[in-house]
């Protein structure tokens, strides 16, 4: 997947917790074949890190890649509750970034494709988020994290920055994702 200048694409997938960002990112990477995947869960820096991560990914990963330069970011060691190793991203590979807070005004101009996942049914999102691996660890932080996601949505307006707004399937047999809004 290439951008208009012929460079590997930079894809941002944002949306609230439980909306299907990781599933979509994995599907896209499988289709692309040689894409790198960056999960913002690996970067948040604890349960208060959503706002900081969006700015950090824009300046240290997305913008350098858009100029054909390598990007790098420091992962968060959740076990040690401290910064972990550095992770580098090559400018010759497509990068898919998924996570709440990935689509910001700073990152949007340097991204090739901007996606917002729209699942407004909070009980359903909560059910999905807590049902996945690690959900029990997340349960006591749900409200605190949701408040950060709402603040991100008010501050950055990621839905408006998106090229496509997608809604994940709710029932077996439904299309996996449906386009709700397309900008171009």
Q: Give 10-residue mean pLDDT values along the chain (184 residues).
A: 81 90 91 90 87 92 94 92 94 95 95 89 75 73 87 95 87 66 66
pLDDT of residue 78: 83
SS3 content of the chain, % helix, strand, coil (to 5): 40, 25, 35
pLDDT of residue 107: 95
pLDDT of residue 11: 96
pLDDT of residue 175: 58
pLDDT of residue 104: 96
Give the span between the Cα atoms of 141 and 55, in whole angstroms. Answer: 22
| CA distance to 35, 65, 84, 103, 130, per residue, from 107 (Å) | 19, 11, 23, 6, 29
| 3-class DSSP assignment, residue 144 | helix
pLDDT of residue 32: 86
Question: Residue 113: which residues within 8 A CB-CB, separation 6 or more?
Answer: 9, 10, 11, 12, 163, 164
pLDDT of residue 174: 58
| CA distance to 12, 48, 92, 122, 140, per residue, from 143 (Å) | 24, 12, 39, 11, 8
Using alpha carbons, select from 9, 172, 21 the residue that is nearest to residue 100.
Answer: 21
pLDDT of residue 125: 73
pLDDT of residue 133: 66
Using alpha carbons, select from 101, 88, 75, 76 the residue that is nearest to residue 21.
Answer: 101
Give the span between the Cα atoms of 127 and 42, in whole angstroms. Answer: 22
pLDDT of residue 40: 95
**Structure-block tokens of residue 20:** 């299907």
pLDDT of residue 7: 80
Tell me the pTM.
Answer: 0.89
Give the span between the Cα atoms of 76 and 40, in whole angstroms. Answer: 10
């Amino acid at each position: 997947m290439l951008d208009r200048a012929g460079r590997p694409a930079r894809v941002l997938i944002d949306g609230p917790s439980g909306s299907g960002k990781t599933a979509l990112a994995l599907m896209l990477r499988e289709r692309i074949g040689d894409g790198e995947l960056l999960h913002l869960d690996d970067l948040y820096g604890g349960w208060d890190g959503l706002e900081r991560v969006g700015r950090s990914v824009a300046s240290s990963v997305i913008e350098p890649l858009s100029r054909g330069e390598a990007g790098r970011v420091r992962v968060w060691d959740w076990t040690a509750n401290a910064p972990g190793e550095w992770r580098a991203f090559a400018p010759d590979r497509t990068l898919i970034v998924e996570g709440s807070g990935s689509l910001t005004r700073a990152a949007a101009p340097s991204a090739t494709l901007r996606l917002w996942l729209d699942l407004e049914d909070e009980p359903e999102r909560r059910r999905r988020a807590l049902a996945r691996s690690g959900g029990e660890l997340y349960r006591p932080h749900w409200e605190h994290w949701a408040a950060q996601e709402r603040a991100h949505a008010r501050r950055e307006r990621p839905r408006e920055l998106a090229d496509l707004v997608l809604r994940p399937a709710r029932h077996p047999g439904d299309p996996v994702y449906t386009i709700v809004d397309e900008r171009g």
